[in-house]
Amino acid sequence: MPVNIIDGRQLSDLLIEEMAQEVKVRMAQGHQQPGLAVVLVGEDPASTIYVRNKIRCAEKAGLFSVVTRLDETCTQQELEDVVNELNERDDIHGILVQLPLPEHLSEERIINLIKPSKDVDGFHPVNVGLLSSGQATLIPCTPLGCLEILKREMGDLSGKHAVVVGRSNIVGKPMANLLLQANCTVSIVHSKTIDAAALCRQADILVAAVGVAELVDDNWVKPGAVVIDVGINATEIDGKRKLVGDVNFENVAGKCRAITPVPGGVGPMTIACLIKNTLVAAKQN
């Protein structure tokens, strides 16, 4: 069958343009400009690139943004002081502390310190609980991006069998909850699952989010399935560094109805959904 490669960058641009129009209309009606604050600790190259991309997308969508940079040696208290200040700012609707943090800092304490109403990463226990109970909340950006892709690709997801490979708090568990809310029948595959490939072969929707390079091959995929590859794994091929997903793209692409590439699939939609969460937070405020 012909391969349908889902262009995450194109979908991201479309979503950001839709939000830019909404922000423009809201501001014309007298609403406050949505504000996003990003906190970056240290000079990790990957984190620096992620932050730059997030700010660029925020500005494209018409958001006001600020970046606070702290030295890698900053104390827990210094970081918490920054978060507390942002919690109290009326012009800031979303707060994102770029992870991972240096080892001497507690990510759990920082996540719990951000006001749930400004937690645009969707990691605060209050937001996790609201999502688990099916209530409106700020949703982790990567699974939200995956859901946006699936709805735009497939329309109504009701009755589809979705299999999520991985049970992390960041992707696997919230992804399963979102798919349940979309009326899918949901299975979760993890390291203790017996014959994971057999279960995955039943899936109309297969979401791979386990962090193992090219784990999912064509033996795991039902013909005509839609495959969402969340994994980003650095490998070295012929002496050159290359990013690959959790899915063996070359092996699987010809068998499925549609598939996201790595890079250029889920990643751009994750950033777009961070902006979407900030807009949601501003509207709720």
- Residues noted as catalytic: 54, 98, 121
Does 152 appear as a known binding residue?
A: no
Neighbours of 257 (CB within 10 A): 18
Neighbours of 41 (CB within 10 A): 24
Does 259 appear as a known binding residue?
A: no
- Among residues 137, 139, 226, 136, the alpha carbon closest in space to that of 174 is found at 139
Does 167 appear as a known binding residue?
A: yes
What interhelical angle do 45-60 and 8-28 show, nearest 10?
Answer: 50
Rounded distance, CA 123 to CA 224, Å? 33
Structure tokens that stand for 150 in this block:
């699936």
Does 159 appear as a known binding residue?
A: no
Which residues does the annotation place in the binding site for NADP(+)? 166-168, 232
